Every structure is written in C-alpha cells, then in structure tokens.
Amino acid sequence: MGDQKTDKKDYSAEKIRVLEGLEGVRLRPAMYIGSTSKPGLHHLVYEIVDNSVDEAMGGHCDKITVSLNKDGSVTVVDNGRGIPVDLHPVYKRPALEIVVTRLHAGGKFDKGSYAVSGGLHGVGISVVAALSTLMKVTVKKGGKIYHQEYKIGKPLHDVKVIGESEKGEHGTTVTFYPDDTIFSTTKFDFSLLETRFREIAFLNKGLTIVLSEEATKKKEEFYYEGGLVEFVKWVNTGKETLHKPIYFVKQEAGVVVEGSVQYNDGYQENVLSFVNTINTIEGGTHVVGFKTALTRAINDYANKNKMIKDENLTGDDVREGLTAVISVKVPEPQFEGQTKTKLGNSEVKGIVDSVTMNSLIMFFEENPAIAKRVVIKALEAQKARNAAKKAKDLVRRKSAFGLGGLPGKLADCSAKSSENTELFLVEGDSAGGSAKQARNKEFQAILPLKGKILNVEKANPIKVLSNEEVSNLITAVGMGIGEQMDPTKLRYSKVIIMTDADVDGAHIRTLLLTFFFRFMPDLIKNGNIYIAVSPLYRVRKRKDHYVFSDEELKELISKLGGSAEVLRFKGLGEMNADQLWETTMDPKARLLKKVTIEDAGKANEVFSKLMGDDVEPRRQFIAERAKEAMVDL
C-alpha cells in the first residue's frame, strides 16, 4: 500500500509524456491500422493504394501498379497528379514532406482537392511511414522528378530533384519496408491483396490495377469497363441467373448512388455495400435505403399487375436469391459500428431509397418479362417462408416438450450465465462420449452430431428446418434464426466445432461453417465460432508429446533422437477422456482457431463454389488450393 501512495505523489508534470511527430503511431499502432498481425500489415498497402484510388475517383488517375518485391518491400505507382512538392505556406517545408511526416495532413481536409475520398482521416501515408524501416517517395510533376526518403517517419534528407520527367508525365511512386519489430509477420498474401484490388477495380470502372509478386512471378491485372454490372455477374459465377443485371446510377444532393441487381435461382441473399470504395461489411443507412426501396418497388409492381392475392411480400421474400452491389460516394461519410465499417449518415438513407425506387420502377415497366420473373421468385419465397414458419413453430413446440426445452443429446453445462461457457459440436456418438467424460461440466457443454449435417447451400429453408440435426443445433445455440434471431439469447460465448483431423472431419467442419454463414452470420461476425485443433500424433518417449502436423512430427523425432512409438490418431473417439482434455479441450493447453470474415463477398464466393451445384468451379478451386488444404488438415 505504501508503494502505491509513493507512486501517486510521483505523478507530476515530468510524468506527462508528449509524443512527438509519429511516435504515438509506433507506440499504439493498432489504433491506426487495427492490428500488428496479418490484417494490419496489409492495411499499410491499402492506405497507400487508397490515396491513388482517391486520385482515380477525382478523374486524375487511370492506372495503379502494386509490386511485392523480393526484398520484402512494396511499391505502389500511380499516374495521378503527384503529391504537391511546393513549400507549405505555414510550415515552410515542401508539402510532400509535411504529408508523409505529419498526422492529419493531406488534401482530404480541403474540400477543393477531393470531392469524395476513401481515406477517412488523412493519416494514411504518414502512418505507413512511421511503421516502416524505410520509405521512398518519388513524384513526377511539372517536368521534374522529386525524391525523398524516410526512416520510421523521419526524413533522411531534404526533398530533391533527381531528374526530368517526360512531357506530360505525372504521378507518385511509394516504396516501403514494413518494420519487423512492429509486425508479427511481414510476409504479404497475394490472394488477400488480389481480392481487395479486384473489388476496387469493379467499383471504379475504367481503372486498371496491376498486382505482381517478384518472387513467384505471379501477375494479375484488373480492369472492368462494365463496373458494377460485371461485379454482380462475377459474384453470381456458377449460379443459374434469372435475368440480365439491372444497373442504375444517379447523383442527388452531392451523393452519387450506383447499384446493380441480379437474381439467381438459389436461396441466399448477398448484398455487398460500399462507401467511397470502402467495404461497409456492417451495412448502414445506404443499405437500409436500398432494401426498403427494393421491397416497395417489387410490391408496387406485383400489386399493380394483380400478382398478389393475400399478403404483401416481405423484405426476406424479395431478397431470396438476390445478388446486389450498392456503392455510394459521400463527400463527408460518418462511420460507426465495431469496425467503423457502418455508414451513419442519416440523409443517405432517403437519397438511396429515392434513386433505387425510381430506377427499379422504370426498369420493371420497360422489362415486364424480367419484372414478372422477379415477382414469381419472391412469391415462391413467400410460400416457402410460410411453410418454414410452420417448421420453426414445430421446432419450438418440440423444444417446449423436451427436457428444459433442449435436445436430449445435449450434455449441458451447469453455469447459469452464458459468459465464458462453451458448446462443443462433436462428430458422432463415440467422440461425443469421450468429450462428455473429458469436459469441465461447469462451463463446457457437448452436442454430438449424427453423421454429416445437411448441405444448406443446396437445400431450401423448409428442408433445412425440418432436419433433426439442424433443429437440435438451432435449439442448443438458443438465439434462433431469420427474423426471430435474437443474439442476446445466445446460450454460449463460444461455439466450438470439434471434428476428426481427417478428410471426413474437414467436410463436416465445412458443412457446419456453411450453416452458420448462411443462417447465423451474426455468430461469425461477433466472434463466437471457433474450430478445435486436435492432434494428429502421440509420440511417446519418456513422456507423451502431442503433435499437430507432419512437419512438427519430423522436428520432434529429430529432437528426441533414437526410436519412439508413434501413434497416429484416427479420430477423437479413439482418445481416452484424459487425452482429449489435455490436447483439445483444456483452455490452458488447447489450440483454437477463431473463425472470422475478412471479406464477405469473397466468403460468399468460396461457399458458393465449394458447396453449390456447379462442379467445375469447385474442381478448379480445389486444384489451385490443394496444398493449403493439406496443410490445414
């Protein structure tokens, strides 16, 4: 207690630390780029590219080149106007130096420079500079080539002219080396960048983005003259579509609204939304406006043409089988939500509603055959919804007569609160029996699943909800699905998929992930879904060692030296309760993988490819990713 008093007395002016320049960024990097792991590393690239995209949105740039260099650096080149190099009127230093070395400095705060911007805070390039051991910036402007280099955000020399540019040549080149003392990994993922750049190219028709990797010689070029029309076609690849894409674009009150809509014969809804090319994965006012208008426009057409007999179509009805991309350009976007990817501007809702409503009504009147096809699809969804409602009621009635309203197979935990509780979804009764013996009954519940659950990607909602294993799962989780879903009723803070470390186990895991992605996406968004990593081998020499991969096994055998009897586990049911607890279920020793969605559009594409009806895209995907799958298994 005495020490604490001394500490309080010592809390004087000298204890107040002023972080100079970009020092604060290095002290708290996650505040600026989200994390210091893989997503944060890639965020550095996005920050630089977003500056080039802002030039493209302003009509000043039509090509961006991104190169992953052998030495670990990244180079981004654009043919925009080039960062200004003249002296800043206040700081009396070249504008280039100010932009790179000071937070909140940039053209995005001057409405005359950028009408709309993807960068939110004007901190992009300066944050990248602060988190890089070296950054080089070259600007071609006014017939000259300017250059400056920086070490962890500090200039190594003044801005200097290093040559003359060709007549009319202009643009910016940025090369940066991520600081490996800040990031847990400095290896860039080509496929992750590929996904984001494809998205940007779709959203900015006429813009070319080239991504290359020096070490592997990989190269991809993205250019889509059709913009959002090509985007929805791409998302619907491998699906049977009902009509050509509907497209509209209009500017109203300074906000540009652009959208494309195409229905397929499936059951899933897929609405992708963007604000100033930022993927708003949590939606926002623009999505609300779009969905409201879509429902109203389809009901208006259906009623006008006497296609509705009893009740109007609901939002769920008109969005079954819908693929849509809604993109808005907003001068001053206000973002909210957990990841700052939800648009909050209230005025945008009405603008998007108005533009979408007028555009759809006009399209339906000019294309009656397509309009009728869309209405018929929604009416079929309405019938299925009513049937599914009966199935849901049946699930609830069945639950009401069960023990405590829960499935008989569920071995529940004793904790009264859902905080820190875990539900293990286990493959088969044998593994379920071992897991029930191994668990800590206070906070761990076990639900054994019989065989492989239904592939919900191919089944209609009635069949899904009538399936016994699915209805047991819905009841055990507790929060319901569809319009009755209530995340506050979630019975466990972790839902853990625990399957065998073989091909069958991987298939069951994928089927369960498909179910959660399509029917309970909030569980994934809120970070409640996990995958248990079970061991492949037990190596016994003096004591038991549990090994999770073939590579790890080779290393261990080499380290132990001499002979050891190596046991290959065929399944979780083979383990006794003690082994299962200490390798897979004990929170102090186990390995868990948290399931997250980095890109909803990409996730939708992968689930459609892997779990849909079209064989060829699945075969191609598996052939390309076979090595990754083997590593994962």
What is the predicted pLDDT for the residue at 260? 98
Q: Count other Cβ atoms within 10 Å, centred on residue 305.
A: 13
Residues of the chain with pLDDT > 90, as a percent, come to 51
User: In terms of Cα–Cα distance, which of 179, 138, 149 is closest to 25?
Assistant: 179
What is the predicted pLDDT for the residue at 395? 53
What is the predicted pLDDT for the residue at 8? 43
Both tokens assigned to 319:
């969005």
What is the predicted pLDDT for the residue at 633? 38
Backbone angles phi, psi at 431, to 5 degrees: -65, -35
Report yes or no: 153 and 25 within 8 Å, Cβ to Cβ: yes
Average pLDDT over residues 554-558: 84
| H or E segment to which residue 50 belongs | helix 38-57
Q: Transcribe 202-259 into DSSP letters.
A: HHSTT-EEEEEETTTTEEEEE--TTTHHHHHHHHTTTS-BSSPPEEEEEEETTEEEEE
User: In terms of Cα–Cα distance, which of 232, 244, 241, 263 is closest to 374?
Assistant: 263
The residue type of 207 is: L
pLDDT per position as a tens digit, 213-264: 999 999 999 999 999 999 999 999 888 999 999 999 999 999 999 999 999 9
Among positive and negative, which fits the CA dihedral 362, 366, 372, 377?
negative
Distance CA 449, CA 432 (A): 8
Instruction: Please tell me which residue, 525 or 230, carries the higher pLDDT value.
Output: 230
Distance CA 529, CA 499 (A): 14
What is the predicted pLDDT for the residue at 403? 38
| H or E segment to which residue 47 belongs | helix 38-57
Q: Count other Cβ atoms within 10 Å, centred on residue 160.
A: 11
What is the predicted pLDDT for the residue at 539? 86
SS3 74: strand
Q: Count other Cβ atoms within 10 Å, centred on residue 208.
A: 17
User: Which residues are part of the catalytic machinery?
Assistant: 427, 500, 502, 504
Give the model's confidence band at 123: pLDDT under 50 very low, under 70 low, under 90 confident, else very high.
low
Q: Count other Cβ atoms within 10 Å, centred on residue 364.
A: 22
What is the predicted pLDDT for the residue at 519? 87
pLDDT at 632 over 70: no
What is the predicted pLDDT for the residue at 89? 83
SS3 415: coil
Both tokens assigned to 621:
């995907």
Pairing type for strands 208-213 and 144-151 reads unpaired
Give the model's confidence band at 563: pLDDT under 50 very low, under 70 low, under 90 confident, else very high.
confident
pLDDT at 485 over 70: yes
The highest-confidence range among 24-33, 142-151, 529-538, by mean pLDDT, is: 142-151
The predicted model scores a pTM of: 0.71
Q: Transcribe 50-98 into DSSP letters.
A: HHHHHHHHTTS--EEEEEE-TTS-EEEEE-SS----SBPTTT-SBHHHH
Both tokens assigned to 583:
């390798």
Average pLDDT over residues 410-420: 90
Report yes or no: 506 and 512 within 8 Å, Cβ to Cβ: no
Residues of the chain with pLDDT > 70, as a percent, come to 88
Which stretch of 30-34, 118-122, 294-298, 543-547 has the lowest confidence by average pLDDT?
A: 118-122
**DSSP state for residue 616 in the 8-state scheme:** H
Helices (H) and strands (E) in the chain, counts: 21, 24
Instruction: Please tell me which residue, 568 or 137, carries the higher pLDDT value.
Output: 137
| H or E segment to which residue 136 belongs | strand 132-141
What is the predicted pLDDT for the residue at 200? 94
pLDDT per position as a tens digit, 423-443: 999 988 888 888 999 999 999
pLDDT at 630 over 60: no
What is the predicted pLDDT for the residue at 599? 67
Both tokens assigned to 316:
């769920």
What is the predicted pLDDT for the residue at 97? 92
Both tokens assigned to 109:
């705060």
pLDDT at 465 over 50: yes
Give the model's confidence band at 10: pLDDT under 50 very low, under 70 low, under 90 confident, else very high.
very low
Average pLDDT over residues 547-567: 81
First to last CA, the chain: 53
Q: Which residues contact 478 (CB under 8 A, 6 or more apart)?
A: 489, 490, 491, 492
Average pLDDT over residues 303-319: 93
Number of residues in the chain: 633
Please, what is the angle between helix 368-401 and helix 468-477, to 10°? 70
* Mean model confidence pLDDT for the chain: 85
pLDDT at 12 over 80: no
Give the model's confidence band at 372: pLDDT under 50 very low, under 70 low, under 90 confident, else very high.
very high
pLDDT at 398 over 60: no
What is the predicted pLDDT for the residue at 307? 94
What is the predicted pLDDT for the residue at 338? 57
Instruction: Please tell me which residue, 399 or 203, carries the higher pLDDT value.
Output: 203
Q: Which residues contact 6 (CB under 8 A, 6 or more apart)?
A: none
